[in-house]
């Protein structure tokens, strides 16, 4: 709830405005939260792979065990301290990485905190970790829709961007964005005080030096884009996307095979999952949900591959993305309960294909 501005008489007869305390969205909030989600996911995947490859070592000797949840807590503390101590524009990025990795290391050990046996491998751990990951991604999506065109949000954005003035020459696009926000702020007459603030700051921004050469990072990104255009033409990108969709689709259709086996009356039919045999005649609910979801995803991805092969690119990319989002946002929660290692591999493969599909859409369809 935002605080309503109420006029009160000051000594010179001018109205005084109550201080507003409602939260104001950051312009880079969605980017920062996405970075938290990426760092979280990478931390969990890398940790699980490292522990599996090294035989789950313990640090601390015979008496103590320094669990990686402790290192996660340390990174969370460092991220919070960085945000409180420094004002540089790079601080939110550093904080997002520290918070993402720290929370990933911490939540990865949730199994130890929800079981009396201190069981890291409890089946419920993987779904909890995955739901937290989806929650952060969902928050990033919601944050993208925040209103940033209101006077207070514009004034905060101007204040944050103005930090670059203290660091020397402005980048050309940063200067253009700052001038754009100042123009929007000046055009809204509902806050005369902020209009005056923008008008006073504009000459400073216009007189600020501008970097003549692009930064190394931007030059590198431009170089990668040129290399991508030269090495990955549209036909090759389409083949890669179609092949990936077909491969993941066929693997996902194993869910249909499992469903048929679950309802089979053949006593010799046996389902083994994560070295555990499913008792004949039983239909574990999580296995049914995961198998049915995988079957749907498999059909969507195979149809997407066919659409891409026959030149229906828009339909193919749309079906591919729908199938992958369904797998990532729903099916993998049930799958994680059944096999934590399998869901890690599935998430990595699905995210990689989603990146390929999203890049194809951005390059050739938008």
Whether 189 and 235 map to the same domain: the answer is no
Q: Is residue 222 part of a domain?
A: no
Whether 259 and 356 map to the same domain: the answer is yes
Segments forming the whole domain that contains residue 293: 229-365
Whether 91 and 176 map to the same domain: the answer is no
Whether 138 and 158 map to the same domain: the answer is no
Q: Which residue has the higher pLDDT, 356 or 61?
A: 356
pTM, whole model, 2 decimals? 0.80
Q: Is residue 170 part of a domain?
A: yes
pLDDT of residue 64: 80
Q: Which of 199-203, 289-293, 301-305 has the lowest mean pLDDT?
A: 289-293
pLDDT of residue 263: 74
Number of domains present in the structure of the chain: 3
pLDDT of residue 269: 63
Last-in-domain residue among 144, 160, 186: 144
pLDDT of residue 334: 87
What SS3 class is residue 189? coil
Whether 190 and 241 map to the same domain: the answer is no
pLDDT at 143 over 60: yes
Last-in-domain residue among 144, 159, 193: 144
Whether 185 and 283 map to the same domain: the answer is no
Mean pLDDT of 5-21: 56
* pLDDT, averaged across the chain: 86
Mean pLDDT of 139-161: 88
pLDDT at 182 over 90: yes
229-284 pLDDT tens trace: 888 999 999 999 999 999 999 999 988 888 887 777 566 666 666 566 666 666 67
Q: Which of 78-87, 123-132, 261-270 has the lowest mean pLDDT?
A: 261-270
Q: Which of 32-36, 141-145, 234-238 has the lowest mean pLDDT?
A: 141-145
Angle separating helix axes 29-54 and 340-360, nearest 10 degrees: 140
pLDDT at 42 over 50: yes
pLDDT at 109 over 90: yes
Whether 78 and 38 map to the same domain: the answer is yes
Whether 321 and 199 map to the same domain: the answer is no
pLDDT at 354 over 70: yes
What 85-94 contacts at long range (C-beta under 8 Å, 24+ apart), as own/partner pairs, is 87/163, 88/163, 88/167, 89/160, 89/163, 89/164, 89/167, 92/26, 92/28, 92/32, 93/32, 93/35
Whether 235 and 327 map to the same domain: the answer is yes
pLDDT of residue 268: 60
Closest CA to 105 of 68, 137, 158, 53: 68
Whether 155 and 139 map to the same domain: the answer is no
Q: Is residue 214 part of a domain?
A: no
CB 255 within 8 A of CB 298: yes
Q: Which of 16-20, 120-124, 236-240 has the lowest mean pLDDT?
A: 16-20
Q: Is residue 220 part of a domain?
A: no
pLDDT of residue 2: 43
Whether 139 and 173 map to the same domain: the answer is no
Q: Is residue 119 part of a domain?
A: yes
pLDDT at 117 over 60: yes
pLDDT of residue 9: 47
Q: Which residue has the higher pLDDT, 307 or 147?
A: 307
Q: Is residue 162 part of a domain?
A: yes
Q: Is residue 1 part of a domain?
A: no
Q: Which residue has the higher pLDDT, 79 or 282?
A: 79
Whether 237 and 356 map to the same domain: the answer is yes
Last-in-domain residue among 144, 173, 194: 144
- How far apart, in Å, are the Cα atoms of 8 and each of 234, 255, 324? 64, 67, 56
Mean pLDDT of 162-180: 89
186-217 pLDDT tens trace: 998 888 999 999 999 999 999 999 987 766 77
Q: Is residue 100 part of a domain?
A: yes
Angle separating helix axes 340-360 and 234-252, nearest 10 degrees: 150
pLDDT of residue 115: 92
């Amino acid at each position: 709830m935002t605080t309503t501005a109420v006029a009160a008489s000051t000594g010179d007869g001018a109205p005084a405005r109550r201080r507003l305390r409602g939260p104001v969205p950051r312009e880079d909030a969605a980017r920062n939260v996405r970075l938290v989600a990426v760092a979280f996911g990478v931390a969990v995947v890398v940790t699980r792979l490292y522990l599996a490859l090294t035989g789950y070592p313990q640090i601390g000797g015979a008496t103590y065990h320094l669990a990686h949840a402790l290192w996660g807590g340390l990174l969370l503390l460092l991220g919070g301290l960085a945000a409180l101590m420094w004002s540089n524009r790079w601080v939110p990025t550093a904080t997002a990485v520290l918070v993402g990795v720290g929370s990933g290391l911490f939540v990865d050990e949730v199994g130890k905190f929800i079981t009396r046996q201190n069981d890291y491998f409890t089946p419920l751990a993987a779904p909890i970790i995955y739901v937290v990951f989806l929650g952060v991604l969902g928050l990033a999506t919601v944050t993208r829709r925040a209103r940033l065109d209101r006077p207070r949000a514009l004034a905060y954005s101007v204040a944050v961007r103005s930090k670059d003035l203290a660091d020397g020459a402005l980048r050309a696009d940063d200067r253009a964005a700052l001038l754009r926000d100042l123009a929007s702020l000046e055009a809204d007459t509902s806050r005369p005080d902020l209009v005056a603030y923008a008008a006073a700051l504009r000459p400073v921004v216009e007189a600020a030096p501008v970097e003549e050469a692009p930064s190394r990072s931007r030059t590198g990104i431009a170089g990668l884009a040129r290399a991508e255009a030269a090495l990955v033409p549209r036909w090759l990108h389409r083949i890669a996307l179609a092949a990936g969709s077909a491969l993941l689709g066929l693997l996902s259709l194993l869910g249909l095979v499992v469903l048929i086996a679950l309802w089979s009356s053949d006593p010799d039919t046996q389902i083994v999952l994560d070295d555990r045999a499913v008792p004949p005649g039983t239909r574990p609910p999580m296995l049914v949900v995961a198998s049915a979801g995988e079957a749907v995803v498999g059909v969507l991805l195979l149809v997407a591959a066919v659409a891409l092969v026959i030149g229906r690119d828009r339909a193919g990319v749309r079906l591919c993305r729908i199938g992958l989002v369904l797998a990532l946002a729903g099916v993998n929660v049930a799958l994680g309960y059944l096999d934590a290692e399998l869901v890690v591999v599935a998430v990595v493969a699905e995210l990689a294909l989603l990146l390929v599909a999203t890049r194809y859409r951005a390059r050739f369809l938008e």
